[in-house]
Chains A and B, each alone.
Chain A
Amino acid sequence: MSNATINGRRALTLSTRARDRVQVGRLGPSRLRIALSYAVLVPVTILFVSPIIYMFIASFKPNNEVLSGFAVFSPQDLSLNNYLSIFSRFSGPDTGTFTGFLTTSLLVSSVTVVGGLAVNSIAAYALARLRWPGRNLLLLGVIALVIVPFEAIAVPLFYMLDGLRNTYLVQFLPFIASPFSIYLFYSFFAGLPKSLEEAARVDGAGAWRTFFSIMLPNAKPAFATVAILQFMSSWSSFLWPVMVIDDPTVRPLPLAISVYVGTPPYGWGNIMAFGVMMVLPMLVVFLIFQRWFIRSVVASGVKG
C-alpha cells in the first residue's frame, strides 16, 4: 500500500508511474462535471497568482500610481523607468549595486550546490556501499543531525564565525556539508541493486573508480534533486545573511530587498521592479525544469 516514507528513490520514480496510471483514467467524468471543474479551477487559480501579476504590473507603473486601487491595472503610463532607477539607486559601495547583489546570490548558491554535491555524494556513497569500521556509527550521527534545524545553531555559529562577517565565505561555508543531502544521497545509493557495481569490483576497480564510473552515471536523479533543493534554500536564505552581513557589497538579493523596503523613502514601483529582477532568473529556470523541481520537493519534504 501507499506509504509516505519519502525516501529518495521511491519518490523519484513515483510521479512517472503515477502519470501513466492517470492516463488510463477512471470512469469518464461527464461533460457537466468537467465544465464544473474548470469553472472552479480557473478563477481560483487567477486569484491565487494575482499577487504575482500585481508585482509585474506595479513594476511598470510610476511610483505614485502603484497605490491607486484597481486603477493600477489600467494600461496607462507603463514604462521601464523603475528598472532603470534600480541601477541608479544602487550605484556605489555605500548602497551596493544590483549586479553585486545578484553576483553574491549566484556565487553563494553555486558554491553551496557544487561543493555540496561533491562532498555529500561521496560521503553518502561510502556510507551506503562500502564496508569499513565505524560506518554505522557515522551513519547514526548523520541521521541524528538531520533533525537539527539551522535556526537551532544560528546563534552559536554567529558567535563562532564573527571573524568572517561580511564575506562571501561565511555565506556558504556552513551549508556545504549537509546532513539532509547526505541522507537523500544515502537512501538513493542504498536502493541501487548490488549487482550494479559487482562486476566492476570483481574486475578490480577501487572504490573511487566504482563511484565515478558506475555510481555517478546512475545517480543523476539524486544529483538533480539535491542540487535543486540546496539551490532553492541557498537562493532564498535570509536569517543567516541578516545576522552576518551588513556590508552592501556582499549583500545577497533577499537581504538587499529587505534593506531596501526598510529604508524610506522608497517607491513601490521601484521595489516591485527590484522584485521582478530578483525572481525572474529563478522563475525561468523553474519553468524550464519544473518537472525536476516538483520531483525534488516530493522527494524531500524539507524546505529552508
Chain B
Amino acid sequence: MLLRPKTPVASVQQDTGAAVVMVIPAFLGLLAFVAVPFLLAIFLSTQNLHFGSGLGPTWMGLEQYRRLLLDPLFSADFYRALINNATFAVVVVPAQTGLALAIALLLNRSLRGMPIFRTFFFMPVVFPMALVSVIWKLIYAPDDVGMLNTVLKVVSFGHIQPHDFLGDPKTAMAAIIVTSIWSGVGFQMVILLAGLQSISGSLYEAAAIDKAGKWQQFWNITMPGLRNTLVFVVMVTTILSLRLFDQVYIMTRGGPLNATTTVMYQAVTAAFDRGNIGNAAAITVVFFVLVLAIALIQRWFLREEREIA
C-alpha cells in the first residue's frame, strides 16, 4: 500500500489529451508553412530546377552555392546585392538609432503635449511600406518642380541644380536610405522612449545631488540603463536591413545599374523573372545564415551584460 501525501491537484495534474488538441492546429501550421519550407529551401538549393521548364529537379550538390559565390555570371550581381545591403545597414542602423534616441530624449520630459509629438513621429509606422515608397517616389521627382528639388533649390538659394535622385546610381541608394529611416525611426523611438522611462528617476536625483552634469548623467546613467534596449533595437534594424525589398521593388527595381539591388530582390527576380528556383533557394539560404549570425551576435552581447551585472 502506498500512501502519498496529497499535493495540490493543479501542479501534478496531467493534461496530455487537452494539450495535444490545443497544440495541434498551431503545430501543423508551423510544420507546413515554416519548418517544411525551411528544409525545402535547403533541399531546393541543391537542385537544378527551373519553373515552367517542365523538367523535374535534378541533383546539383553545392553547385548553386559555387555559382552564387564564385561564378561571375551569378556572383557579380549577388555580391553587388550584399554590398548594397551592407551599405544600407552601415548607414541606416547608426543613423536611425541615433535619430530615434535623439527624438526619444527630446520627448522624455514632463512637458505638455509630448504624447502628441510622439504620435506624429510614430505615424509613418502604420503606413504600409508600399505607400511610403510611392509618396517618396513623388518627393524625389527628377525635374525642378519635384518637391525635394524645390526645397533644395530654396535652401541653397538656387545653387543646387535639379537632380534625378532615383535615376542616378550615385544617389539612388541614399534616397532609399532616407525613405527607410523616415518610415522606421518612430518604431525605434517608442521602444527607446519606453527604455528611457524605465530608468529609475532616483538615479538622476542622486546624480544631481552629486552635482553630475547633464552630459555625465547621459553617459553614466542613461546609456548603461539603455544598453540592452539599444542592443535589441540595433539587431532588429540590422536584420530589417537584410530584408530590404519593398522600397527597392517600388522605387528603383534594383536599378539604376544594380545600384540598389538587394539580396531579397535578387531572390525574387531569380525565382520569378528567371524561374530559377534552385538559384533563388540558395540565395535565401545564404540570407538565413546571415540573419542567424546577427542573432547569435546579439545573444553574445546580451550574455556578456548578464555576466557583468
Contacts and interface: CB of A to CB of B under 8 A. Distances in A.
A22 B23 contact: no
B31 to A, nearest CB: 9
Interface in B120-165: 120-131, 133-139, 141, 143-147, 150, 154
Contacts, number: 326
B41 A236 contact: no
Given A22-B110, A40-B106, A243-B271, A131 B44 contact: no
A80 interface: no
Interface residues of B, number: 116
B4 interface: no
Interface residue SS majority, chain B: helix
Interface residues of A, number: 118
Nearest to A147: B295
A220 interface: no
A160 to B, nearest CB: 6
Contact of A1 (B187, B245, B287, B309): B309
A301 B138 contact: no
A51 to B, nearest CB: 5
Nearest to A125: B22
B138 A123 contact: no
A41 B117 contact: yes
Contacts of A257: 130-131, 134
A278 interface: yes
B80 interface: no
Interface in A24-80: 24-27, 29, 34, 37-38, 40-41, 44-45, 48-49, 51-52, 54-55, 58, 66-70, 72
Nearest to A239: B245
A123 B22 contact: yes
Contacts of B144: 69
Contacts of B14: 131-132
A151 B246 contact: no
15 contacts: A2-B195, A26-B204, A51-B182, A52-B123, A120-B26, A123-B22, A152-B38, A153-B41, A156-B40, A174-B33, A235-B128, A258-B250, A279-B128, A301-B233, A303-B240
By Cβ-Cβ distance, the 6 closest A-B pairs, closest first, are A177-B29, A18-B197, A236-B128, A254-B130, A123-B26, A207-B18
Interface of A: 1-6, 11, 14-15, 17-19, 21-27, 29, 34, 37-38, 40-41, 44-45, 48-49, 51-52, 54-55, 58, 66-70, 72, 118-120, 122-123, 125-127, 130-133, 135, 138, 141-142, 145, 147-149, 151-160, 173-177, 179, 182, 194, 197-198, 201-202, 206-208, 211, 232, 235-236, 238-239, 242-243, 253-255, 257-258, 261-262, 268, 271-272, 275, 278-279, 282-283, 286-287, 290, 293-294, 297-298, 301-303
